[in-house]
Structure 1
Amino acid sequence: MSGGSLLRRFLIWLRGLWSGRPELSAHERLLGTVDQLYGEGSVVKDDRDRLDGILHLGELEVYDIMVHRTAMRTINADDMPAEVIRQILESPFTRLPLWRGSSDNIVGVIHAKDLLRAMAEPDFERDKLDISKIAQKPWFVPDSTNLKDQLNAFLRRKVHFALVVDEYGDVQGLVTLEDILEEIVGEIADEHDIDVQGVRQEADGSIVVDGSVPIRDLNRALDWNLPDDHATTIAGLVIHESQMIPEERQSFTFHGKRFFVMKREKNRITRLRIRPAGDEAAAVAAGE
């Protein structure tokens, strides 16, 4: 179905549904219309996910989708120039936070293109490179900023990268324009992307998932409906529902799924196996 045809059908449905449901907000009516169109087969899953992503953009905060500080790749401004250059050129990311003295003290953001431009200068001397002089000023945004506002801020400032801080000003992670767009259109991959999906289907039909995988990504990939109002990641969901930090080989059943903790590192659940709640025979056969 073409984009124009989809939009026309969408507007026709809106006109019919809104007239008879005055008790619902406009946002709730839109969500209900998308779900109904999808249920009747008028909208394919990819289109439903994109419309759903747009409609939920204002309900999510930067904290929900950011790259956590423990997973950030950063550059120490005090490293030897040759080491700094190597790290930047070998990184799969074009923008990297630059810190000095402490990893919490972000002093800039280095763009690989700016480094290459500096290296192309006739008088460039590798051993005299001061990486902080070619770094861009860091932009810090509150972790409570909703994605709609952050998207508008990215477009207004014409930048793609921001560092996320909490109410005390401590760096919690980073967010990019691509991160927000992926909430609308799904995973954006190119030839330099690292495989961060962290979801693998096994031969027995079970799903092995890294604990850090966002619930929304899992729901989109598998057409599930796990709740994400109290937790952002799948590990967070298990901790929230079980009201504990599970041990390895513990299992829990909720929301129609059986969650088996495969691996835990310190207090973090790093890998889970998920299967339908009723698939007890397969769970027993797998020693779960």
Structure 2
Amino acid sequence: MTSESGLFSRCVNAAIRGMMRATRVSLNRRTLELCGHDALHAALDTMHKDGNFGAEDRDRLSDLFDLNELEVSDVMRHRMTMVAVNADDPADVIVRTVLESPYTRMPVWRNSTENIIGVVHAKDLLRALLGPDTTPADVDILKIMQKPWFVPDSTSLKDQLAAFLKRKVHFAVVVDEYGEVQGIVTLEDIMEEIVGDIADEHDIEIQGVRQEANGSIVVDGSVPIRDLNRALGWDLPDGEATTIAGLVINSSKLIPEERQAFTFYGKRFIVMKREKNRITRLRIRPAEDAVPAAE
């Protein structure tokens, strides 16, 4: 077994042991080694039906076994919603941007947000500010930023988790087969696939989503489907599209006009705003609450 595989196995084993202790369920090690993917899911469903543990614990273990089925592109933060700093901004502006951000690490770009030249860590920035007589205007972002790590968007979450652990880093820039930046992925993004949302006192509510008084949800088109599913407990499909706008375009097989409405997956989607060929805002409500409208 390679070092990378060993790191991943230890992580998986620790997660499984922790869940089993918490739920007081014993799963034979030999059974885990011999069972295939489908058999493990069937075993988890049976244990849930028998009352050995709840649906939430079953789903988390299922997510753990599914890491090899998912790709980095499924959990990454898309470049349209990526928070980054411009290397050519004044130093005090960069310092303020980083320190006011809820994120510990931020990509640094130059000329274009798709040209990532580094990654700045808030701890390194604070360390630089501790220098004698140092002011925010004195900080040189190019000296304190780290070299960016680029990973393919098709990498499985299993392999990416192992790579994070092996390199002892938490942040990577995601690129497609042509080397174009698609977004960013963190160790936390992958761990949340296993244990659910990991929140702390600096986390912010999901950006681009607003609950209306009438029960509908107003969503920016760039909001990832997976984030929306997690935040609202929905189960919208994310196999063919990453963002909620992409889901509507993919499902309707066209680029909708403003005020055009569609019903699928138990929801009514109304296009509120479109800029050129991009859907930038949608209203979503349960299909049964929707007022009939021309498609």
Same topology, TM > 0.5:
yes
**Structure 1's 175 and 51: CA in aligned 2 closer, same or farther, altered over 3 A?**
same
- Residue of structure 1 aligned with 2:53, choices 35, 40, 43: 43
TM-score (norm 2): 0.79
Which residue of structure 2 aligns with residue 173 of structure 1? 183
1:35 and 1:216 map into 2 onto residues whose CA distance is 23
Please give the residue correspondences for 1:244-263 in structure 2 after superposition, counting only pairs within 5 Å.
Answer: 244-263=254-273
TM-score (norm 1): 0.80
Which residue of structure 1 aligns with residue 15 of structure 2? none
1:194 and 1:181 map into 2 onto residues whose CA distance is 18
Please give the residue correspondences for 1:47-66 in structure 2 after superposition, counting only pairs within 5 Å.
Answer: 47-66=57-76
- Residue of structure 1 aligned with 2:243, choices 221, 227, 233: 233
Which residue of structure 2 aligns with residue 141 of structure 1? 151
Q: Which runs of 5+ in 2 are unaligned?
A: 1-18
Shift of 1:136: 1.0
Contact 1:49 1:185 in 2 (8 A): no
What do the CA deviations read for 1:82-118 (whole angstroms, capped 9, x no partner)? 2222222222222111223443332211111111111
Shift of 1:129: 2.9
- Residue of structure 1 aligned with 2:78, choices 37, 49, 68: 68
What RMSD in Å do the two structures reach over aligned CA positions?
3.2
Instruction: Give the aligned length.
Output: 275
Which residue of structure 2 aligns with residue 8 of structure 1? 25
**Structure 1's 240 and 135: CA in aligned 2 closer, same or farther, altered over 3 A?**
same
- Residue of structure 2 aligned with 1:95, choices 105, 124, 129: 105
Please give the residue correspondences for 1:116-195 in structure 2 after superposition, counting only pairs within 5 Å.
Answer: 116-122=126-132, 124=134, 126-195=136-205
1:286 and 1:41 map into 2 onto residues whose CA distance is 44
Shift of 1:287: 11
Contact 2:164 2:170 in 1 (8 A): yes
Q: Say if 2:289 is the partner of 1:272.
A: no
**Structure 1's 170 and 216: CA in aligned 2 closer, same or farther, altered over 3 A?**
closer
Q: Which runs of 5+ in 1 are unaligned?
A: none
- Residue of structure 2 aligned with 1:284, choices 282, 287, 291: 291
Which residue of structure 1 aligns with residue 225 of structure 2? 215
Shift of 1:190: 1.5
Greater alpha carbon shift after TM alignment, 52-61 vs 196-205:
196-205
Contact 2:74 2:238 in 1 (8 A): no
